[in-house]
A and B are shown apart, each in its own frame.
Chain A
Amino acid sequence: MSNRYIYVPRRQVIRGLLATAAFGATSKLWTGCSSSPTDTASTSGTSGASPDAGKPITIGFIYNAPKADYGWNQAHAVGAAAIASMPGIKIIEQESVPETKEVQEVMRNMIDQDGATVVIATSFGYFDPHVLEVAKAYPDVQFLHCGTLWKEGLAKNIGSFFALVDEGQYLAGRIAAQASKGGKIGFVGAKPINPVLRNINSFMLGARSVKPDIKMQVIFTGDWSLPVKEADATNSLADQGFDVIAVHVDSPKVVIETAEKRGLLSSGFHSDQSALAPKGYLTGTVYNWGTIYKNYVELFKAGKTLINGGVKPQYIGGIAEDYIGLATFGPAVTEPIKKDVEAAKAKLVDGSAVVYKGAIKDNAGAVKIPAGKTYKVTAPELTKMDWLAEGVSGKTS
Chain B
Amino acid sequence: MAAEALGWWGVPLGILAGTLRGSAPFLFVSLGECLTEKSGKINLGLEGTLLTGAMSAYAISYLASDKWGIPTSVSPWLGVLVAGCAGMILGFIHAWLSQQPKVNDIAVGIAMIIFGSGIAFYFGKAFIQPKAPQLPTIDLGNWSAMPAVQSALKISPLFIFGVLLAPLMAWFFKSTRWGLFVRAVGDSPDAALAMGVSIKRVRMLCIIAGSFLAGIGGACLSLYYPGLWSESISSGQGLMAVALVIFARWNPVQCLWASLFFGGAQAIGPALQSVGVDQGRYLFNAMPYILTLLIMIITCSPKKTLSGAPGALGTING
Contacts and interface: CB of A to CB of B under 8 A. Distances in A.
Interface in B128-167: 128-129, 131, 147-148, 151-152
B101 to A, nearest CB: 6
Interface in B237-288: 237, 266-267, 269-271, 273-276, 278-279, 281-282, 285
A182 B1 CA distance: 10
Contact of B228 (A237, A239, A257): A257
Given A65-B231, A239-B148, A263 B1 contact: yes
Interface stretch (B6-14, B69-77, B81-89, B90-98): B6-14
Contacts of A186: 274
Interface string A219-253: 11110011111111101111111110000000101
A395 B270 contact: no
A239 B6 CA distance: 6
Given A70-B128, A241-B5, 20 more contacts: A181-B2, A217-B276, A220-B273, A222-B282, A226-B232, A228-B226, A228-B233, A229-B269, A231-B226, A232-B269, A235-B152, A235-B270, A238-B147, A239-B148, A239-B151, A243-B1, A257-B131, A258-B227, A262-B151, A263-B1
Interface in A236-291: 236-243, 251, 253-254, 257-258, 261-264, 276
Nearest to B10: A239
B273 A236 contact: yes
A258 to B, nearest CB: 7
15 contacts: A69-B129, A69-B230, A96-B121, A218-B273, A219-B274, A225-B232, A228-B221, A228-B225, A233-B270, A235-B152, A239-B17, A240-B6, A241-B4, A251-B230, A257-B227
A219 B21 CA distance: 19
Contacts of B278: 218, 393-395
Contact of A241 (B6, B17, B151): B6
Contacts of B7: 240
Contact of B1 (A68, A181, A231): A181
Most buried by A among B10, B131, B279: B10
B230 A228 contact: no
B283 to A, nearest CB: 11
Nearest to B282: A222
A227 B230 contact: yes
A96 B231 contact: yes
B125 interface: yes
A227 B228 CA distance: 9
A51 interface: no
Contacts of A182: 2
A318 B266 CA distance: 38
Nearest to B317: A1
A95 interface: yes
A288 B230 CA distance: 24
A225 B233 CA distance: 8
A33 to B, nearest CB: 14
